Chains A and B, each alone.
Chain A
Amino acid sequence: MTGTGMAPREFLTDRLMLGLVALVALVLGMPSLKPLFATLFPRLDRPLYEAESFVRLTLDHMALVGLSSLAAILLGGSAGIAVTRPWGREFRGLLETVATMGQTFPPVAVLALAVPVMGFGPEPALIALTLYALLPVVENMVAGLDGVPAPVLDAAHGLGMGSAEILFRVELPLAAPVILAGVRTAVIINVGTAAIASTVGAKTLGLPIIVGLNGSNQAYVIQGALIVAALAVVIDAGFDRLAGWLTRWSQR
């Protein structure tokens, strides 16, 4: 197993490293690509988005994704834990409905509803992204905890573990790969969706895209989209690596 297991792992390592290199190169080196974009789009007066630095936009984009994902993990995670406890079982249907609604609601609509209440800026974006990321987190938290084998729980109770010990030392570690998959989906979705948040004034990598779409500047759109894509690849590859570490005990 070790022999065949090494090859894909090396490949993943490469994907992460290549993605990181591409991301850093794009973010830092975009200004030096100005002549290239000028050649590709000769009719554009301004072939490079220069209103904000791409470093600033990328950091803000990551901060928005990170904060909203963290909020979704804390909220969705604790709600998922609560409805799998004996005292919270009744609320399971309600929670799943709410989480599904959060996902079916288009993020643009959430943004539109949040702006009149909270004004322009990153706050409505944070709310929309958090709601959007809830469903995969909740779903996978519940599925992961449900998937813990009943005999293992029976033994844990029978040996005299307390409910907190069972949750933190048995249930969460065993459910971790499934939980992580949910977090991964949530974060990846948010990397893409955060671009839309620029419509309500949050400074993200969506800004050049939206400005470019409004002003028929394809170069701006490509510049924003390239970095968003690179960011998504890096984060996805990072989660791949994390998942590999998490499941190593079962692959020995």
Chain B
Amino acid sequence: MIDFERVTKRFGSWTAVDTVSFTVAEGEFRVLIGPSGSGKSTVLRMINRLIPADEGTIRIDGEDIAALKPEALRRRMGYVIQSVGLFPHWTVERNIATVPGLLGWPKARIRDRVTELLELLNLDPRRYRGAFPHQLSGGQQQRVGVARALAAEPRILLMDEPFSALDPITRTSLQTELSAIHHRTGTTVVFVTHDMDEALRLGDSIAVMDHGRLIQCATPLEILTRPASPLVRDLVGREEWGLKRLAVETVGDRARRQESVTGEPLAAETPLHRALSEMVARGTERLPVVDGDGRPAGVLHLSDLVRPVPGGTASGGTA
């Protein structure tokens, strides 16, 4: 658990972070979003004390981080940055082994862990273990960057715009993999981005920052349907609002459980905008749904997608 209590950071006369308080629960995926200079990266870098707070208290699992040795604190957390920062003179294996090495893990355990992580991030260990960073594509480098951050099984993963420099296809696949890793490991993630689609897609909760202040901290659905300020509404954008709205709910949320219909079924965790796309592609208004074990879980109707729900429209709750 990460706890910010009235935290302030100034650089000269500029207040980068202004009395910010929030809590990230154990296992939560928290996205920090905001325009450039909003203080989101500063907040992230204060969690591992790369930037010291001027005022206020930051606690990890109840412990004030100001009382901890910075190196020891950082070794407990993963850290991924946009420009990756792999050590260019080290092989992929040695890069990933950085923190386990610092923690004094036995060699055999480090080796097994490297293999496991390379497989987790879809890099063939035989091919990439001994490669140097400059031999990899940008997407592969960031995969190694994520593997390096996860190496010592951190409880907290800090990510500063990790996928912003990648092409859209690579970005999407890394987002999917990160989601899967988060679900599997239950690691607490704090993820900085300026891309609202990425935030809506990945976050359990989204904290919107502007001029060093926390404007709104809410679930993706609330950010879409009840934006706390014009800035939040601008960040979400008017364009394709309806599709974004559908994207934050899954097929399982709206399916009619008692019904059944034939056809190629959709998984219950499929986002609704994908279901809509499927309906258009297949020319049908009804799709069968199956649960995680492949058992029938009802039918989704086209009308279910436009069924009014509380705060379900673009103008709803904007007061």
Partners in one complex: yes
B-binding residues in A (CB < 8 A): 149, 151-162, 165, 170, 173-174, 249-250, 252
Is the C-beta of B79 less than 8 angstroms from some C-beta in chain A? Answer: yes
Contacts of A170 in B (CB 8 A): 87
Q: Are A161 and B71 also in contact (CB < 8 A) when A152-B85, A155-B79, A155-B81 are?
A: yes
14 contacts between A and B (CB under 8 A): A151-B81, A151-B85, A152-B88, A156-B87, A157-B50, A158-B79, A159-B98, A159-B149, A160-B73, A160-B74, A161-B98, A170-B87, A173-B89, A250-B88
Pick from A154, A160, A165, A249: contact of B85, CB under 8 Å: A154
Q: Are A157 and B88 also in contact (CB < 8 A) when A165-B102, A252-B132 are?
A: no
Contacts of A160 in B (CB 8 A): 70-75, 99, 102
A155 to B75, CA, bound (A): 12
A156 to B145, CA, bound (A): 12
Contacts of A156 in B (CB 8 A): 85, 87
Is B134 a contact of A159 with CB atoms below 8 Å? no
Most chain A CB within 10 A, of B48, B79, B135, is at B79
Pick from A158, A173, A250: contact of B134, CB under 8 Å: A250
Pick from B79, B83, B88, B135: contact of A159, CB under 8 Å: B79
A170 to B149, CA, bound (A): 17
A159 to B76, CA, bound (A): 9
Is the C-beta of B84 less than 8 angstroms from some C-beta in chain A? Answer: yes
Is the C-beta of B148 less than 8 angstroms from some C-beta in chain A? Answer: yes
Q: Which residue of A lies closest to B72 (CB)?
A: A160
Among residues 44 to 97 in chain B, which have CB atoms less than 8 Å away from a CB atom of chain A? 48, 50, 70-75, 79, 81, 83-89
Is A174 a contact of B89 with CB atoms below 8 Å? yes
In the complex, what's the smallest C-beta–C-beta distance from A87 to chain B, in angstroms? 16
A99 to B103, CA, bound (A): 41
Is B50 a contact of A159 with CB atoms below 8 Å? no
Is B89 a contact of A159 with CB atoms below 8 Å? no
Among residues 93 to 113 in chain B, which have CB atoms less than 8 Å away from a CB atom of chain A? 98-99, 102
Q: Which residue of B lies closest to A169 (CB)?
A: B87
Contacts of B48 in A (CB 8 A): 158
Most chain B CB within 10 A, of A156, A158, A250, A252, is at A158
